[in-house]
């Protein structure tokens, strides 16, 4: 009985040491990823990374990391110096430099305050994933705008006009009203090589721009900007 008890204690100790070793390896890897991101994206700060615990053994034995999620609290866009945050989902990340990422999804979020200031529509506010601004004589109505994208351009599109509680669809309004909104809000995105703009959305946090790419060098994210 005593021998059996000692065997159980020894097994439990080995498992604890093994778990501790994996945890140490995970901490080391996330630290290396954070350092690599900071080194290759000079305009990034507040970098944090996470990797799945179950991937640690494979990651240790391979020359690449299976997957990682990286958050960047502050990132400065090229050209206009706009501050954004980044959420990066990456897979098949090479350990060699420069860092090559097999599959990359990046969500860049421009803060709501920045969007409202840059909108140039006056008294704009974000409501239910739309941008709403005063419209019509004396500002009695409300123009409801939604973000759109085409190729590498982002802009706002007129969805409807709300007047005295009644909503008038944009399709019932003069065509030039739609074009005026688009022309006023149009921005050209400078997309990193190997990536493609796939969606834009608006929420209380701000305007989120989602990019995807394959076989992308991490450092090229530094070229992300608006013109």
Give, in order, the Cα–Cα distances in Å from 211 to each of 42, 48, 72, 187.
Answer: 20, 20, 15, 16
Confidence band of 70 (pLDDT split at 50, 70, 90): very high
More confident residue, 39 or 137: 39
Model confidence over 108-124: pLDDT tens digits?
A: 999 998 888 887 777 88
Query: Quick one: pLDDT band at residue 138, thresholds 50, 70, 90?
Result: low
| Per-residue model confidence (pLDDT) at position 16 | 39
Looking at residue 209, its pLDDT comes to: 96
CB 189 within 8 A of CB 82: no
pLDDT in tens, 168-192: 888 888 888 888 888 888 989 999 9
At 21, the pLDDT band (50, 70, 90 cuts) reads: low
Q: What is the pTM of this model?
A: 0.84
Q: Cα dist. 86→24, 52, 109, 193 in Å? A: 26, 19, 6, 17
At 87-107, the pLDDT tens digits run: 999 999 999 988 999 999 999
Identify any residues that bridge with 201 across adjacent strands, giving them in sequence order.
208
pLDDT computed for residue 20 by the predictor: 53
CA distance 218 to 104: 9
Higher pLDDT, 136 or 40: 40
């Amino acid at each position: 009985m005593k021998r059996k008890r000692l065997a159980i204690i020894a097994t439990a100790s080995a498992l604890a040491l093994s778990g501790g070793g994996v945890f140490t390896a995970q901490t080391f890897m996330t630290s290396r990823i954070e350092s690599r991101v900071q080194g290759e994206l000079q305009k990034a700060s507040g970098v944090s990374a996470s990797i799945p615990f179950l991937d640690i053994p494979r990651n240790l034995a391979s020359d690449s990391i299976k997957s990682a999620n990286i958050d960047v609290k502050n990132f400065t866009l090229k050209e206009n110096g706009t501050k954004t945050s980044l959420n990066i989902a990456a897979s098949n990340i090479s350990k060699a430099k420069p860092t090559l990422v097999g599959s990359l999804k990046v969500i860049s979020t421009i803060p709501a305050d920045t969007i409202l200031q840059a909108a140039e529509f006056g008294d704009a506010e974000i409501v239910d994933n739309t941008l709403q601004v005063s419209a019509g004589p004396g500002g009695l109505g409300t123009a409801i705008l939604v973000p759109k994208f085409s190729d590498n351009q982002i802009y706002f599109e007129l969805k409807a006009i709300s007047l005295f509680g009644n909503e008038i669809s944009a399709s019932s309004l003069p065509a030039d009203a739609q074009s005026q909104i688009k022309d006023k809000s149009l921005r050209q995105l400078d997309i990193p090589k190997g990536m493609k703009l796939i969606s834009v959305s608006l929420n209380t946090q701000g305007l989120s721009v989602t990019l995807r790419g394959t076989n992308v060098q991490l450092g090229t994210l530094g070229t992300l900007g608006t013109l």
